[in-house]
Amino acid sequence: MNNLILIIIGMAAVTYIPRLLPFFLLSNKQIPKRVDAFLKCIPVAAIGALIIPGVFSATPDMPMAAASGMAFTIIIGLWRGGIIIPVLGSVAVTYLVLFFTA
């Protein structure tokens, strides 16, 4: 077995185990209220950190392009809601801004 296959297997194990364990540690048990409150706050906390500051370097040479795409998502998302149009629209807007400023 070469080194790289060993690395891949090791990486797969240390990635999979943390993803798996909580499903067996937490389910089917009564979770204390305090812990439950904490778990409920995980999504917004995680997503905030996943978006900021990454989004500002999504189009490194032309930050305005990603910003325009996000502006489109915010406007359409707040106005009409939905997923597909806000997302595909933001890609299209970003593309157009990059295309015409390049």
Residues 74-93 that bind another protein (CB under 8 A): 74, 77-78, 81-84, 86-88, 90-92
Q: Is 36 in the site for another protein (CB under 8 A)?
A: yes
- Count other Cβ atoms within 10 Å, centred on residue 34: 8
Nearest-5° Cα angle at 53, 51 to 37? 50
Closest approach of another protein to the CB of residue 58, in Å: 5
Closest approach of another protein to the CB of residue 1, in Å: 11
How far apart, in whole angstroms, are the C-alpha atoms of residue 88 and residue 24?
A: 37
Residues 2-31 that bind another protein (CB under 8 A): 3-16, 18-28, 31
Strands (E), 17-92: none
Interaction pattern, residues 37-76, with another protein; x per rule: CB under 8 A: xxxxxxxxxxxxxxxxxxx--xx-----xx--xx--xx--
- Count other Cβ atoms within 10 Å, centred on residue 66: 21
